[in-house]
Amino acid sequence: MMDIRELLRHVDHTLLRPDARVAQIDELCEEALVWQTASVCIPPRHVARARKRWPGLVVGTVIGFPLGYDTTAAKLAEARAALDAGADELDMVIDIGAALDHDYERVRADIAAIRDCSRGHVLKVIVETCYLGRDELDRLCRIVSELGVDYIKTSTGFGPAGALVDDIHFMRETCDPDVRIKAAGGLRSLEAMQEMLAAGADRIGASAAVRLARAATADK
């Protein structure tokens, strides 16, 4: 089993609840530094403050979150504002309805626009696997591979289901090797996070990882 500290280096320490308060975001950022998580993933309005207060922290935020049906122009405005505020990483939600309509040109154009504006920064594309059949997920894996996206991400955590091991295996087999995988949604134990990494994920999106790690190390 992976060491807990090593596991946390794969975790995007996340707080995206609609009721997130400044004090909670501050606590999250402090925990990320202490436990050396891969990054924090926080709402856009908190990015500038986090960047200024914790200059050494990898700060991620979300675009078109959590539903994905914003126009490309709206997503571009969000992305540019987040990058101007100091975000290092962007997690964008695809147009899920367009994917289910098999309007892949729309999906591709939406992703490509954000990829173009975020060059030099990490882009993670959330496909919300719980809504997709295998053919749709296959097509999306190929699109993100062709566009040179950094990560494909399973879920927002706001859908009816989150990351599944079978989806991670499928995505790893289908995506270009340069595209990494982020598993997110419903990961409420260190064992589940370990399982995702063993299946081929490189990042974990979780709000509970630090709390679980603290409890696990306190028991030793």
Choosing from 12, 70, 88, 91, the catalytic residue is 91
Assess contact for 173 and 152: CB atoms under 8 A: no
**How far is it, in rounded angstroms, from Cα 71 to Cα 95?**
9
Assess contact for 174 and 149: CB atoms under 8 A: no
Choosing from 88, 110, 150, 153, the catalytic residue is 153
Percent of the chain beyond pLDDT 90? 97
pLDDT band at 2 (very low <50, low <70, confident <90, very high): confident
**How far is it, in rounded angstroms, from Cα 133 to Cα 94?**
15
Choosing from 12, 88, 167, 182, the catalytic residue is 182
Please state whether the predicted TM-score (pTM) of the whole model is above 0.75. yes
Q: Beta-carbon neighbour count of residue 214 at 10 Å? A: 14
Model pLDDT for residues 136-154, shown as the tens digit of each residue: 999 999 999 999 999 999 9
Indicate whether 71 pLDDT > 80: yes
The rounded mean pLDDT for the chain is 97
Assess contact for 128 and 161: CB atoms under 8 A: no
Q: Beta-carbon neighbour count of residue 125 at 10 Å? A: 26
Taken in order of first residue, the domains within the chain and their CATH numbers are 4-218 (3.20.20.70)
**Catalytic residue flag (residue 153):** yes
**Catalytic residue flag (residue 91):** yes
Assess contact for 75 and 64: CB atoms under 8 A: yes
**How far is it, in rounded angstroms, from Cα 101 to Cα 197?**
31
Model pLDDT for residues 87-121, shown as the tens digit of each residue: 999 999 999 999 999 999 999 999 999 999 999 99
**Catalytic residue flag (residue 124):** no
Indicate whether 220 pLDDT > 90: no
- Which residues, 6 or more positions from 77, have their beta carbon under 8 angstroms from its beta carbon? none
Which stretches does DSSP call E strand in the chain? 11-14, 39-42, 59-63, 89-93, 122-126, 151-153, 180-184, 203-206
Q: Which residue do the tokens 């999250």 mark?
A: 28
pLDDT band at 11 (very low <50, low <70, confident <90, very high): very high
Indicate whether 1 pLDDT > 90: no
